[in-house]
Structure 1
Amino acid sequence: MRVSEIDLVSPSSVDKCLYMLRDHDKTFRLLAGGTDAIVQMKDGKRIPDIWINIKNLTELRYIREEKEGIHIGPLTTHTDIVKSELLQKKADVLVGASMEVGAIQLQNMGTVGGNIGTASPAGDTIPALFVLDAQIELSSFNEKRTIPINEFFTGPGKTVQKQNEMITNIIIQPQSENEIGIFEKLGPRKAQSISIVNVAITLRMGSNPRECLEGKIAFGSVGPTIIRSKKCEKMLALGPLDDTAIQDIAGAAWKEVMPISDVRASAKYRRSMASALLERGLYRLMNRWDAR
């Protein structure tokens, strides 16, 4: 498809964009960084009647803390997230995930809203948003609604977002002083490939050595949507996270994921790597906690 064949409009404000989305006679697709959308367009997938360029809507690019949580604009780039001192301090798991989104060029162009809207089970920032209890704000011309992230995705490439809506805000819960997080990914970095398996982990630690009070674990690319590892999460608080406990928890992950086989990896390999990534992540978190 040539650029000359694309119908594209560039609204000057969010309100004007939402007004355009009211037209039910045409299909629209929002274009921000374009790191996912352009690839799909070239493959002949998800091509709308009209593209809406929202890249210059700076009112949707921000990171700020308010009383109900940290607000992140959907046009915030992965580079913005990586460089944010607020997120480095209070959402390190999201910073780690954004650092793994391909090359620097992709991090500069790609947006967190685009990563969410694409709804790929392999999206790197999405598991991190799950363990941070993210809320997704959807706006139409007449109303707004807020959806918990665990209710937002309905399948690969599918969400509850309506044709006349756009993501206008993402709210995450900040990590506390005794909470640490990490993002682990399996995917050939040099090839800038999407994840074969990834996992986001947050742990709230106690005062005793390696005492975990509670934790959250979310796997990507091992099911039709992100998988919260509930059984493994319950095991985190059963005792000190020593070598035996970490290995037992990682072993339990094998049964919780639901991967498929495709051109990138077999289901069996993904199951094994899910356990391995969880084990590696827990060891790294404990080493970091011990060093405090």
Structure 2
Amino acid sequence: MKVSEIDMVTPETVEECLYYLGDKEKTVRLLAGGTDAVVRMKDNAGRPETWINIKGMNSLRYIREEKNGIHIGPLTTHTDIIQSKLLQEKANVLVSASNEVGGIQIQNMGTIGGNLATASPAGDTIPPLFTLDAQIELSSLGGKRMVPISDFFIGPGKTVQQAGEMITNIIIRPQAKNEIGIFEKLGPRKAQSISIVNAAIILTMGEGPRECLEGKIAFGSVGPTIIRAGKCERMLSLAPLTEERIRDVADAAWKEVMPISDGRATAKYRRSMASSLLARGLYRLMKRWEEQ
């Protein structure tokens, strides 16, 4: 199938884009980086009657800090995130994840808004957004609404985004100076494969040796949507994160995740790897904290 067989429009403004999205007479779909959409179309999935090409809409490509958090435009690429000094300083867990998205070509083309809209449980940037308490702004001809990321996903490939809506802003909280974050991924990097398991961790550290005041842990590719490891999070502040304590927290992850078996890995393997990734991430964070 050739792309030329499908109509394409290129709006210049968000308002014009929303007008096209509001057309109920034909099926439409947004096209940004196209790293997922074009692949799905070649597999005869997700083919619209009209593409709405928003790749060049620079008004939706930005990273800036405001009073209520760091604002990231949905057309911000993974390369933009990697190179952002602001995010390197105040959201390094997201920078770390963007570094693991495919290869250089995918990082240059793929967008954070596309990663969210695709709603894959294996999406690399999504677990960090959970740990950063992201808020998703959805806009339509009827107005705007904010959705906490914890409420945004309702299943594999499914979100609360309605027909006629598009993501127009993503707001995350900046990491405090006593917060450290890391992203861990299991996947054949050289093959640019999607994650078998991934995990994002943010710890708020106290003044005592390895004292963790609180933590946030989000796993990807181990359930129908991203899973927050609540039990593991509560265990983080009960005692200093010694090597023994880290093992105990990691062991608890086995019961937190709900993976399936598929062509990439068995459920049992994913459970084991979720524990291993959590342990590795916590060990690395403690080493980094002690070296500061």
**Same-fold call, TM cutoff 0.5:** yes
Structure 1 residue 2: Cα displacement: 0.9
Task: Give aligned-pair identity as a percent.
Answer: 73
Which residue number in structure 1 is paired with residue 211 of structure 2? 211
| Aligned-partner residue type, residue 102 of structure 2 | G
Q: Is the 8 A contact 2:77 2:110 kept in 1?
A: yes
Which residue number in structure 2 is paired with residue 169 of structure 1? 169
Q: Distance in 2 between matches of 1:41 and 1:137?
A: 27
Q: Is the 8 A contact 2:135 2:170 kept in 1?
A: yes
Matches within 5 A, 1:201-240: 201-240=201-240
Gaps of 5+ in 1: none
Q: Distance in 2 between matches of 1:272 and 1:105?
A: 32
Which residue number in structure 2 is paired with residue 83 of structure 1? 83
Task: Note the aligned Cα RMSD (angstroms).
Answer: 0.5
Q: Distance in 2 between matches of 1:141 and 1:88?
A: 35
Q: Distance in 2 between matches of 1:25 and 1:206?
A: 57
Which residue number in structure 2 is paired with residue 256 of structure 1? 256
Which residue number in structure 1 is paired with residue 50 of structure 2? 50
Secondary structure of the residue aligned to 1:289 is: helix
Q: Is the 8 A contact 2:6 2:48 kept in 1?
A: no
| Aligned-partner residue type, residue 130 of structure 1 | F
| Aligned-partner residue type, residue 21 of structure 2 | L
| Aligned-partner residue type, residue 203 of structure 1 | L
Which residue number in structure 1 is paired with residue 101 of structure 2? 101
| Aligned-partner residue type, residue 200 of structure 1 | A
Q: Is the 8 A contact 1:28 1:163 kept in 2?
A: no
Q: Distance in 1 between matches of 2:288 and 2:21?
A: 47
| Aligned-partner residue type, residue 77 of structure 2 | T
Gaps of 5+ in 2: none
| Aligned-partner residue type, residue 231 of structure 1 | K
Structure 1 residue 142: Cα displacement: 2.3
1:72-99 Cα distance to aligned partner (Å, 9 max, x none): 0000000000000000000000000000
Q: Is the 8 A contact 2:61 2:76 kept in 1?
A: yes
| Aligned-partner residue type, residue 162 of structure 2 | K
Equivalent pairs counted in the alignment come to 292
Q: Distance in 2 between matches of 1:19 and 1:25?
A: 12
Q: Distance in 2 between matches of 1:117 and 1:96?
A: 20
Q: Is the 8 A contact 1:27 1:163 kept in 2?
A: no
TM, length-normalised to structure 2: 0.99
Q: Distance in 2 between matches of 1:201 and 1:236?
A: 11
Which residue number in structure 2 is paired with residue 157 of structure 1? 157
Secondary structure of the residue aligned to 1:161 is: coil
Q: Is the 8 A contact 2:197 2:274 kept in 1?
A: yes
1:31 aligns with 2:31: yes
Q: Distance in 2 between matches of 1:269 and 1:5?
A: 43
Q: Distance in 2 between matches of 1:177 and 1:202?
A: 12
Structure 1 residue 21: Cα displacement: 1.2
Q: Distance in 1 between matches of 2:49 and 2:148?
A: 30
| Aligned-partner residue type, residue 97 of structure 2 | A
Q: Which runs of 4+ in 1 moved over 6 A?
A: none
Q: Distance in 2 between matches of 1:241 and 1:28?
A: 50
Secondary structure of the residue aligned to 1:46 is: coil
Q: Distance in 2 between matches of 1:83 and 1:99?
A: 10
Structure 1 residue 129: Cα displacement: 0.2
1:16-61 Cα distance to aligned partner (Å, 9 max, x none): 0001111112111100000011110111111112110000110000
Q: Distance in 1 between matches of 2:217 and 2:281?
A: 10
| Aligned-partner residue type, residue 229 of structure 1 | A
Q: Is the 8 A contact 1:21 1:165 kept in 2?
A: yes
Q: Distance in 2 between matches of 1:171 and 1:27?
A: 29
